[in-house]
Amino acid sequence: MAIKVDQTKCIGCGMCVGLCPDTFKLNSVGRSEVISQDNKDCASQAAQNCPVLAISVE
Ligand code: SF4
């Protein structure tokens, strides 16, 4: 099981960071990066709400 963000899809809307601040952060180019693999439940919720489906939890 790993949380991943597809950097080619992320549009930097910030939704996942707002929902799971301990899991995602926006990087220097304004895209979401995974900073912790600890909260897969929150990441799954973020994945379902990401407007461009850039988050995968697998
Ligand atoms: S919700 Fe999706 S598009 Fe928005 S910042 Fe997170 S990964 Fe990027």
From first to last of its 58 residues, what are the pLDDT tens digits of the chain? 799 999 999 999 999 999 999 999 999 999 999 999 999 999 999 999 999 999 999 9
Q: Tell how far the Cα of 54 is from the centroid of ligand 1, in angstroms.
A: 6
Q: Which CATH number fits domain 3-57: 3.30.565.10, 3.40.50.460, 3.10.20.340, 3.30.70.20?
A: 3.30.70.20
pTM to 2 decimals? 0.95
| Predicted local confidence at residue 35, as pLDDT | 98
24: three-class secondary structure by DSSP: strand
| Per-residue CA distances from 3 to 31, 45 (Å) | 15, 12
Could you identify the atom of ligand 1 that is nearest to the CA of residue 11? 3
> 14 CB less than 6 Å from ligand 1?
yes
Tokens at 46, concatenated? 């973020």
**Domain definitions of the chain by residue range:** 3-57
| Predicted local confidence at residue 1, as pLDDT | 79
| Predicted local confidence at residue 3, as pLDDT | 98
Q: Tell how far the Cα of 39 is from the centroid of ligand 1, in angstroms.
A: 16
| Predicted local confidence at residue 8, as pLDDT | 97
